Amino acid sequence: GELGYSTQEVRHCRNANGIQRTEHYTKYHQVPFLKFRVSIAQPEYGQREIILYR
């Protein structure tokens, strides 16, 4: 699984003439929390797909 969130960031840059420019942007973060596979359902013999309901 994975958890995601975003933050608002500000970046300051100077061009060749020395003029500073401020740029606002959204930074996206992802935090994995489960790195191994777990079998949660097994198809019956001859079954081609499983539909999980919440």
- What pLDDT is attached to residue 4? 92
Give the whole-angstrom CA distance, residue 50 versus residue 43: 6
Give the whole-angstrom CA distance, residue 26 versus residue 21: 17
Q: How many structural domains compose the chain? A: 1
- The rounded Cα 31 to chain-centroid distance in angstroms is 7
Domain range spanning residue 50? 1-54
Find the angle CA(34)-CA(39)-CA(45) to the nearest 5 degrees: 160
Tens of pLDDT along 9-50?
Answer: 999 999 899 999 999 999 999 988 877 777 777 778 888 877
Which two structure tokens, joined as six digits, stand for 42?
């097994």
Reduce the DSSP state of residue 47 to 3 states and report it.
Answer: coil
pTM score, whole prediction: 0.45
